[in-house]
Structures are given as structure tokens and as C-alpha cells.
Amino acid sequence: MRKIFQVYLLLFAASVTESFAQDKRRHDTNYNGWFMYFGTHKLTDKWGLHTEFQLRRYHVISDAQQFMPRVALTYNLSDRASVAGGYAYVHTYPYGDNPAADDFPEHRTYQQLQLKDPQGIFGLQHRFRLEQRWVKFAGADDYTYLNRVRYQFKTTLPLAGPTIEDKEFYLSLYDEVFVNFGPNVTSNIFDQNRAYAAVGYRFHQDANLEVGYLHQHVAQRNGVWFESNHTLQVGLTYNLDFRKKSTAAPQP
């Protein structure tokens, strides 16, 4: 009987602790706009160069939130698998109900594995990304080193036939979870989750435009503030082919 009482006491204490932790949390709702360009350019049949620029705005468009250029070298393992390694610079400005004291920079390197898995009319994609981050938080004299891992599951669905063709619309959906790890993690292992839905239009094989909605749930490092960010996303993809074109031999 004593053991049963002790178990109930432990469960009660755990529930009280969890309730107290929930009471300490503060929630911040924001409305943002992310305007993005992506391009993965072919250098050879195997190698490519990924370029990217994101302009992120608070209050959808009126105020600065972040800007981020990113570049990476890519390598195609097969038609369905590729790896990449690259660098990103992120500059963050104060925004929301619990803003940073000032804007601050971040330098980031990353490694990535991307797998394509088409199933019928669904184009499925898995993306695994490992990030090394050097962040100089507002008011800090030095950079803080952080590790983060990300997993994204994405699917595309044609809206005008069994496959996505030129001059046709399609549906794009993804969910991506971010997890912190390493010695400098403070209050949260969970970093954020992004859920996305958009309508896309394919101009041709190497160009498309997507306009959609992203819900970003962010846990700030202090473990108290949690952001719920409703975000308009506009993304343009335009890929270039820099491979040498073969020329036909002249006829005698």
C-alpha cells in the first residue's frame, strides 16, 4: 500500500510541476511575410551550385525580421538522392512581444541529405540537415556555438493531371521539425516546427512559383516565450544549366 501511495505522490508531484511550467509560458502571435529565391544550378552531370536569398518581414511586409543569403555545393548520388554542404548568413532584427534587445548576426554551415521517393501522383521528398551555428546574441561580446538537426517531409501533388507539367498548377505541402543538441542548449531541445501549404505554378522544368501559408511554432531559448508565427510565403525557383553543350560534328 505504501508503494502505491508513493507512486501516486510522484505522479501528483510531476503533474504539479508540469502545470507550473505551463503557467510560466508566454505566447507571442506574429504575422510575417517571407519572400524567397532558390536556384540549384548544374555545373556538371553530378555537381551543382545552390544559391538562395530570403527576405523575411514582420507585419507581413512593413518591418524587418530577418534576411538570409545561402550557398551550397551539391552532388547527385543518383536520380533520387543528393548531398550538399554550404554556408548561410542570417541577420535577425527585433520583432514580436518579446523582442531581442538589438539586431544580431549568425554564421551557419550545414550538411544535407535529400531523398526523392515518388509514389503514384505524389512527389515525396525527405530532407535531413545538420547545422553548425555561430550566433552573436544581442548584447553579447562573443559568438555562441550551437548545433541543430532538421528533418523535412515534403509532398507535391499535380492539380491538372497525373504529373506536374509545364504551365500547370500543383499543390505543395511540408512539415519540418528542428531539434537543438550539444553543450550550449539552454531550456529547449525543441527549437521549432514549420507546417506549410502552398499552390505552385510550373513555368517550365527549371522555373516555378509558390505562394502559400506557413505556420511556424518557435520555442525561444529562455524556455518561457513561444512564438506562433502566421506567415505568407512567396518563393521563386529558377535553375540554370552551366554544363558545356556538346556541338554536333560538321557533315563532310
Q: With the CA atoms of 38, 44, 45 and 46 taken in that order, what torsion angle do they form, in degrees rounded to the nearest 10?
A: -80
The pTM of this model reads 0.86
Long-range pairs for 181-185 at CB < 8 Å and ≥24 separation?
A: 181/147, 181/148, 181/149, 182/145, 182/146, 182/147, 184/144, 184/145, 184/146, 185/146
**How buried is residue 239: exposed, middle or buried, by Cβ count under 10 Å (0-12/13-18/19+)?**
middle
Which cell is 8 given?
A: 501516486
Q: 24-59: per-residue pLDDT in tens?
A: 789 999 999 999 999 999 999 999 999 999 999 999
Q: Which CATH number fits domain 29-238: 1.20.1580.10, 3.40.50.2300, 3.40.1030.10, 2.40.160.40?
A: 2.40.160.40
Neighbours of 82 (CB within 10 A): 20
Residue 199 CA to residue 165 CA, distance in Å, equals 14
Alpha-carbon distances of 120 from 37, 132, 156, 176, rounded to whole Å: 29, 36, 11, 23
| CB 135 within 8 Å of CB 143 | yes
- Within 8 A by CB and 6+ apart from 107, the residues are 87, 88, 89, 133, 134, 143
Which cell is 239 given?
A: 535553375
Q: 104-160: per-residue pLDDT in tens?
A: 999 999 999 999 999 999 999 999 999 999 999 999 999 999 999 999 999 999 999
What is the biggest distance separating any 2 CA atoms in the chain, rounded to whole angstroms?
101
Query: What is the pLDDT at residue 44?
Result: 96
Residue 112 CA to residue 148 CA, distance in Å, equals 12
Q: 201-221: per-residue pLDDT in tens?
A: 999 999 999 999 999 999 998
